[in-house]
Structures are given as C-alpha cells and as structure tokens.
Amino acid sequence: MRRSARHGEPLHVVQWATGTIGAQSLRAVLGHPGMTLAGVHVHSPGKAGRDAGDLCGTGPTGVTTTHRLDDVLALGADCVLYMPRAAGLDDLCALLASGANVVATTGGFHHPAGMDPAVRGRVEAACERGGTTLHDTGSSPGFITEAVPLVLASVQRRLERLAVHEYADLSQRNSPELLFDIMGFGRAPAAEFDEGRLAHLRGSFGPSLRLVADALGVPLDSVQASGRFATAARTTGIAAGVLPAGTVAAQRTTLSGLRGGRTLLEFNATWYCTTDLEPAWDLRPTGWHLTVDGDAPLDVDLRVPVPLERLGAVSPRYTAHRAVNAVPAVCAAAPGIRTTVDLPPFTAALG
C-alpha cells in the first residue's frame, strides 16, 4: 500500500536538483507539515555528501545529499520532486518504475496526447511497472497557462478568446549573460525573430494551450508562434549593463492557438529592460494579465508586489511551491501521466 493511503503518515519526498527552483522546493518540503525529506539528489559530485540544509540555507537536516541514482531508488520514497534543467528520460523512468511518483518542472509532459509516441509509451510503461504517477507543472507553464484559465473558463458557456499576457521587468536583474548573451538584449534588432526561440515557445507553452482547449471540448487546429522587438529610445543603464540607443530593449513573443481560422487561446510573454521604448509599447508591471471574451467576460490582473531588486529571490517560489503542493494529489492519483485536468484541484497544506 502506498504511504499516501495511510491516514496521518507523512509523505516521504526526495528533492532532485537544488538549483534556483530546487532550493526553494527543498525549503518548502522541510517546512511542510505533511512531508518528510527522505533524500536529496544533486547533479554535481562536489555537492554530494553534504547536509541538505547547506544547499537551501536552513539548519542541519540530518539528510545527506547524493549524486547517485541508485541511492535515491533505495530510499523507497513516495514522491520525487524532479527539477533538473532538462528531463533525463532514463533517470525519470527508473524513478517511476521503482515505485516513486514524480512531480516535475522540466516541461515535456503537460499534454500527453501531443508527446512523441515513443517517449510517452516508455514513460507510461514505467508508470505501469511502478504503479506510479507523473505530473508536470510550474508557474508558467502550469499555473498561469492551465490552472487559472480553466478556472476562468468555468463561468463561461460561450468562449470567443482567452488570452494570457505575461510581463517581466528585467531592469534590475543583474544577469548580463542571460540578458545580453542568451536573450540578445542590447544588440541591433534582427530582421526576423529567432526561429529557435519560437520553436522553444511552441514546445514549452503549446501543450498547455492544447490541454485547455481539449478540456473545453474545442481542440485546436494549430498553434503558431511569432515575436517582435522594441528598441531603447535612448541609451539606458540597467542592473546588467548598458542598453545603447536603438538596440533591443524589449521582446514580445506570442503563441496563438487557432480553431476555425481564428485565435481561441493565446499566450504572450513580454520581457523588457526599460519602459522608454521605440515604438512605445503598452507595458504592465511584472505579473500576468488575463482577458476572457465570452458570454461572461473577464479582465484579471495578477501582479507580483515585490520590489524588483528582490524579485530574483522570490520568483522561483511560484514554480517550486506549486510543485510541492501538488505532491499529495499526485501520490493519490491513478498511475500514468496526469495533467492539470486529470488531478483534482489542490491547494497548500499550511498547518
């Protein structure tokens, strides 16, 4: 019998990866009234053999980290919070086949019907062998592209369009490599938006749009991606460096879920380093803005009321905490890949 079915016993949870999000998840598990930390898997051998508390800023936990898969499998945990930068299919399937449920934040499993059939078949076979469940979630995609839209759609009987707008003010993010080298801020704008970035957008957020559309009984015909730039109206200093006038200072990517020749569902991500743009854009503070055009129209703002200089420390919690809060529901779910639609609504257990 799974421990999750035994009334009153804490769930034994393993934290896999202790990066920015993983460290926040680890702290949340340690403070959760219904969970016990069973183990911690780290990517680097240099982090192995340390007390878990050293990696998330808490006091000693008595749990020693490991970088060996076999050590984790031997723990017999109820659930693994799986948070590496990218999923390793061999490790993931080994965990599931061993009897450990998995809550992941890696992406790739939000819409099983759209997965590579070979990958889906392998994961589902591992779930069947272990009698386990895999759930993929996070803040975006996940919370804002699935959980919130489904709630807003629950008061509709006719839906014309549902749009999610995500905003991120990066002016105080001191990450030069991310902003300048990877994202291309501070460069002359290209004639066309990078196709690699658009493909990543389709792969990351397209499954969420398809999941929501399927749940509403209106499957999408296609998902299209586009992007555009705005430049700095004048030379501007930000925490990461300097944006020369005329270089990229804002980027907006749009994912459109089409049905019957029109956009039914939409996700927009606007990342900007200054509000002084050419051309001028309608910008909002960091957070989300959702609009629903239907027979019960809605306009919803979800802002992150945190000073920009503290945002880097706070924002990982939105992804980490949703994953931790999902653990009990995932442990109680039927085996297989289970989505936001499959699981019952869940919330935080705070005391």
pLDDT averaged over the chain?
95
pLDDT exceeds 70 at position 104 = yes
**Could you count the other beta carbons within 10 Å of the beta carbon of residue 295?**
11
pLDDT exceeds 60 at position 344 = yes
Mean pLDDT of 191-197: 91
C-alpha atoms less than 13 angstroms from C-alpha of 305 in its C-beta half-sphere:
2
Condensed to tens digits (0 to 9), the pLDDT of residues 152-177 reads 999 999 999 999 999 999 999 999 99
Mean pLDDT of 1-15: 72
Of 174, 178, 16, the C-alpha closest to 96 is 16
d(CA 224, CA 104): 26
In sequence order, the β-bridge partners of residue 79 are 13, 101
d(CA 60, CA 222): 51
Of 87, 81, 119, 85, the C-alpha closest to 100 is 81
pLDDT exceeds 50 at position 3 = no
pLDDT band at 351 (very low <50, low <70, confident <90, very high): confident
pLDDT band at 7 (very low <50, low <70, confident <90, very high): low
Condensed to tens digits (0 to 9), the pLDDT of residues 306-318 reads 999 999 899 999 9
pLDDT band at 5 (very low <50, low <70, confident <90, very high): very low
Structure tokens at 146: 């699935």
231-268 in b/e form (b: 16+ CB < 10 A) is: bbbeebebbbeebeeebbbbbbbbbbbbeeeebbbbbb
Q: Which amino acid is at 193?
A: F
d(CA 166, CA 270): 6
Mean pLDDT of 72-85: 97
Report the predicted TM-score, pTM, of the whole model to 2 decimal places.
0.94
Q: Are strands 241-243 and 236-238 parallel, antiparallel or unpaired?
A: antiparallel
Condensed to tens digits (0 to 9), the pLDDT of residues 19-76 reads 999 999 999 999 999 999 999 999 988 899 999 999 999 989 999 999 999 999 999 9
In sequence order, the β-bridge partners of residue 327 are none
Query: Is residue 256 within 8 Å of residue 210, measured between CB atoms?
Result: no
Q: What does each C-alpha distance from 43 to 13, 92, 131, 235 come to in angstroms?
A: 18, 14, 27, 41
Q: Which residues lie below 8 Å from residue 111, measured CB to CB, with a gap of 6+?
A: 206, 207, 208, 210, 211, 214, 339
Q: Which phi and psi (to 5°) does residue 257 adopt?
A: -95, 115
Q: Which phi and psi (to 5°) does residue 66 adopt?
A: -140, 155
Q: Identify whether 60 is preceded by a cis peptide bond (ω within 30 of 0).
A: no
pLDDT exceeds 70 at position 2 = no
pLDDT band at 124 (very low <50, low <70, confident <90, very high): very high
d(CA 1, CA 278): 62
**Alpha-carbon torsion 272, 276, 279, 282, what sign?**
positive
pLDDT band at 103 (very low <50, low <70, confident <90, very high): very high
Report the percent of the chain where pLDDT is more than 70: 98
Q: How much is the pLDDT for 278?
A: 97
Query: Is residue 102 within 8 Å of residue 79, measured between CB atoms?
Result: yes
Condensed to tens digits (0 to 9), the pLDDT of residues 233-286 reads 999 999 999 999 999 999 999 999 999 999 999 999 999 999 999 999 999 999
- Domain architecture of the chain: domains with CATH: 3-139+316-337 (3.40.50.720), 156-295 (no CATH)
